[in-house]
Amino acid sequence: MTGDELLEHLRARGALLSGHFLLSSGLHSDRFIQKFRIFEDPPTAEAVGAALAERLRPFKPDVVVAAAIGGIIPGYIVARNLGVRDIFVEKEAGAPALRRGFRLARGERVAVVEDVMTTGKSTAEVIGVVEAAGAQIVAIGCIIKRGNPTFLYPLVTLLDLPLADYTAAACPQCADGAPLQDPGSRRA
């Protein structure tokens, strides 16, 4: 699946919403990507995950590490396509951690899988957990990149979709008094 094909799927499945949204990064935007319109349809989710897996394959990861909740489904599909293990990072007492008996070995080659990347905060949290475990990040795979975060590791992306995001203070819709919607993605 190419980026253009993914964009077509997002449009066709009503995943691109317009309004006044509070993003999980804390920024405001007039656009929201409801990625679960993609993940709820297994054939589409499979095709997206397979495409990301092919972009990550040259980095020869031993394990996929995703961020809960949005990364769990694509992380699993990527790992299945690569024939590697699949684990995820989630919050424990407010801090990102590996739970459920998930472990990383020192030097293990890790592909970090992210669904939608805006500021990269969620990805940075996963990176912190992987680095603390002594594993080696070989690449970051992102399905949709709407912001422009930078990392010290190679980043591969299926779809670059730059959208206008604002701090609350600079948000034109806040200035107009438009009610803010919280579609909820990472906060839990």
Chain residues that interact with Zn ion, rule: CB under 5 A: 28, 171, 173-174
| Smallest distance, Zn ion to C-beta of residue 173, A | 5
Q: Name the residue with the smallest CB distance to Zn ion.
A: 171
CB-nearer residue toward Zn ion: 153 or 166: 166
CA-to-CA distance for 29 and 21, rounded, in angstroms? 5
Cα distance from N-terminal residue to C-terminal residue, the chain: 31
- Please report how many Cα atoms fall inside a 13 Å half-sphere around the Cα of residue 73, on the Cβ side: 19
Least spacing, CB of residue 143 vs Zn ion, in Å: 25
Specify the pairing of strand 28-33 against strand 63-67: unpaired
Minimum separation from the CB atom of position 118 to Zn ion (A): 15
Tell me how far, at minimum, the Cβ of 122 lies from Zn ion, in Å: 21
In the complex with Zn ion, which residue's Cβ is closer, 157 or 173?
Answer: 173
CA distance 97 to 114: 16
* Helix (H/G/I), strand (E/B), else coil: 91: strand
Q: Rounded CA gap, 159 and 162, in Å?
A: 9
Give backbone dihedrals phi and psi of 57, rounded to 5 degrees, phi first. -55, -40
Peptide bond into 87 cis (omega under 30): no
Task: Write down the least CB distance from residue 147 to Zn ion, Å.
Answer: 16
Residue closer to Zn ion, measured from CB, 141 or 147: 147
With respect to Zn ion, which residue has the nearer C-beta, 28 or 35? 28
Residue nearer to Zn ion on the CB measure, 27 or 137: 27
